[in-house]
Every structure is written in structure tokens, then in C-alpha cells.
């Protein structure tokens, strides 16, 4: 792939590479995001974060919070297929946000350079009689160590409870984990929270170790997902590009 842009800041190296209409973001050699406006659904991991949106009626997904923007591929997917009224993307790395705007073409979203933990705590504080809430929250907070992507911090019970505080009663949280074991050991599956979540699923791709957790206070039905999801990622389509394995968490 051709090198389009490169920047070195301290020990960090950022690269944007292109192949045809496809652009990719790399940080210290770790592949963070990919976007192709001509072929947006290619069966990638980012589409596994996008697929759970269709568990809910798409017209009800009005406000979205994305924690960990990367290049902004997920924002572009949401805008292409759902058109939410508001998308807020939070990333601690301002260079990622620059890439999202300049090379991934992110427009019409509020991009915030901040530590996600501080942002979530601040938004969770009640101001007057109103707390800021979202219909969809995507927790994709990954950094890297020795060229390997890993979660930025543990998804413990405290973190999960803070996310739930920002979620509307029938909203959905989608959380990316480095492995299925990491998901099962997270705060989402611990006593106290587990009982609050009538909807709990996992989603996996054969070629990735990552496991995606999908959580809601209300039940989540596969029939709703297969009725709404685009054909290229729809689990009911035998010709789909996304080889997702979805299973209920008991």
C-alpha cells in the first residue's frame, strides 16, 4: 500500500496508507482503521462493532457515543447506513482525530480529544435535572504494546456501571475485547451487573482473537438484527462478507 502521510511524535509513528480507494491508519505498526467509500462493507473487525446496531430499530438510534475513534471508519458506517442525529467520538490521541477528518473524510460528528474515562465521568455527572444519554455506546478503547493491540484499560464493574449511566433504558453498549476470556472476565459478566442485562450477546470473527460484547437492559433478538442488517453483513445471508459468529451469553 502507498504511504500517503507519516508523522513521528516522540516514540510514536503514525502512517496513513492507501490502496485504490481504501485508506488505512497505522500507529506504531498496529492496524487501527480502514475505510473504502466505494466498498464500505468488506467483512472487517470494525463491521463486527457495527453489526449490533441492528438489534434495535434503526430509527431509534439517534445519539451515539464512540470511545476510541481511530480513523473513524465506524463513524462513516453509521452515517452511511443509519444517519444518527448526533455522533460523539472520543479519542485520547489528537493525531487519530486529524487522520479521521483529513483522510477518512469524517464530517458531521463531534470529535473530542480526551481521556475516555474522564469524559464518561464528566458526562455522567448530573447537571441540573438532566444527564447526557446515548442510544448506542461503542467502547473500542485499544492501545498497543510491542506492536500488539490491547485494551487501554480493564473493563471492570465500575467502568461498566458508568457506561450504563449514559445509556437510555433500551440502549445498547458494544464493547471490544482482546479475547473471549477477557470478555467473560469483564465487569459485564460479574454478579450485580449480569442480572441487570436481559440482552447479552457475543460476536466473533474466525480470523481474529477479539471478541465483541453486546449488552442491553432489554432483550435483544436475532430476528430484529437479521431483518434490518445490510446484506453484506447480515448473518442470515449465505453470501455475506462478514463471517460473524453470534451467540447469547448465558
Q: What pLDDT shows up at residue 236?
A: 97
Alpha carbon distance 142, 67 (integer Å)? 10
| Model pLDDT for residues 77-129, shown as the tens digit of each residue | 999 999 999 999 999 999 999 999 999 999 999 999 999 999 999 998 755 44
Instruction: State CA 28 to chain mean position distance.
Output: 21
| pLDDT band at residue 247 under the 50/70/90 scheme | very high
Which residues have a Cβ under 8 Å from the Cβ of 130 and sit 6 or more positions away? none
Phi/psi of residue 184, nearest 5 degrees:
-65, -25
- H-helix or E-strand spanning residue 22: strand 22-27
| Model pLDDT for residues 202-221, shown as the tens digit of each residue | 999 998 999 999 999 999 99
Return the C-alpha torsion angle 133, 52, 21, 147, nearest 10: 90
Q: What percent of the chain has pLDDT over 70?
A: 95
Which residues have a Cβ under 8 Å from the Cβ of 53 and sit 6 or more positions away? 61, 78, 82, 136, 172, 174
Domains and CATH numbers, the chain: 40-248 (3.40.50.150)
Alpha carbon distance 135, 170 (integer Å)? 7
Residue 60 has pLDDT above 90, yes or no: yes
Q: What pLDDT shows up at residue 129?
A: 47
CA-to-CA dists, residue 195 to 161, 185, 188, 191, angstroms: 13, 15, 10, 7
Q: What pLDDT shows up at residue 94?
A: 96
Q: What pLDDT shows up at residue 30?
A: 86
Q: What pLDDT shows up at residue 172?
A: 98
Instruction: State CA 56 to chain mean position distance.
Output: 16
Task: Pick the more confident residue, 2 or 142.
Answer: 2
Q: Are 36 and 24 in contact (CB under 8 A)?
A: no
Helices assigned H by DSSP within the chain: 45-50, 73-81, 94-102, 116-124, 157-165, 180-184, 222-228
- What does the DSSP assignment read for 222-246? HHHHHHHS-GGG-TT-TT-S---EE
Q: pLDDT averaged over the chain?
A: 94
Buried b (16+ CB within 10 A) or exposed e, 144-182: beeeebebbeebebebbeebbbbbeeebbbbbbbbebeb
Q: What pLDDT shows up at residue 145?
A: 60
| Model pLDDT for residues 124-162, shown as the tens digit of each residue | 875 544 567 999 999 999 876 665 667 889 999 999 999
pTM above 0.85?
Answer: yes
Average pLDDT of span 31-56: 94
Q: What pLDDT shows up at residue 131?
A: 62
Amino acid at each position: 500500500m502507498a504511504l500517503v502521510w507519516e508523522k513521528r511524535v516522540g516514540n510514536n509513528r503514525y502512517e496513513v496508507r492507501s490502496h485504490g480507494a481504501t485508506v488505512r491508519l497505522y500507529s506504531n505498526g498496529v492496524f487501527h482503521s480502514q475505510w473504502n467509500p466505494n466498498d464500505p462493507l468488506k467483512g472487517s473487525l470494525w463491521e463486527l462493532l457495527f453489526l449490533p446496531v441492528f438489534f434495535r430499530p434503526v430509527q431509534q438510534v439517534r445519539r451515539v457515543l464512540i470511545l476510541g475513534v481511530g480513523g473513524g471508519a465506524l463513524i462513516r458506517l453509521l452515517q452511511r447506513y443509519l444517519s444518527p442525529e448526533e455522533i460523539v467520538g472520543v479519542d485520547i490521541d489528537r493525531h487519530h482525530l486529524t487522520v479521521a477528518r483529513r483522510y477518512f473524510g469524517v464530517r458531521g460528528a463531534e470529535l473530542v480529544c480526551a481521556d475516555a474515562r474522564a469524559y464518561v465521568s464528566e458526562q455522567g455527572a448530573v447537571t441540573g435535572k438532566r444527564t447526557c444519554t446515548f442510544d448506542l455506546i461503542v467502547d473500542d478503547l485499544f492501545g498497543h504494546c510491542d506492536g500488539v493491540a490491547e485494551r487501554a484499560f480493564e473493563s471492570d464493574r465500575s467502568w461498566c456501571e458508568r457506561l450504563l449511566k449514559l445509556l437510555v433504558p433500551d440502549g445498547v453498549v458494544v464493547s471490544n475485547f482482546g479475547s473471549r476470556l477477557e470478555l467473560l472476565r469483564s465487569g459485564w459478566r460479574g454478579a450485580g451487573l449480569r442480572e441487570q442485562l436481559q440482552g447479552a450477546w457475543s460476536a466473533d470473527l474466525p480470523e481474529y482473537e477479539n471478541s465483541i460484547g453486546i449488552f442491553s437492559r432489554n432483550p435483544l433478538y436475532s430476528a430484529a438484527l437479521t431483518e434490518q442488517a445490510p446484506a453484506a453483513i447480515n448473518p442470515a445471508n449465505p453470501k455475506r462478507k462478514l463471517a460473524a459468529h453470534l451467540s447469547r451469553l448465558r
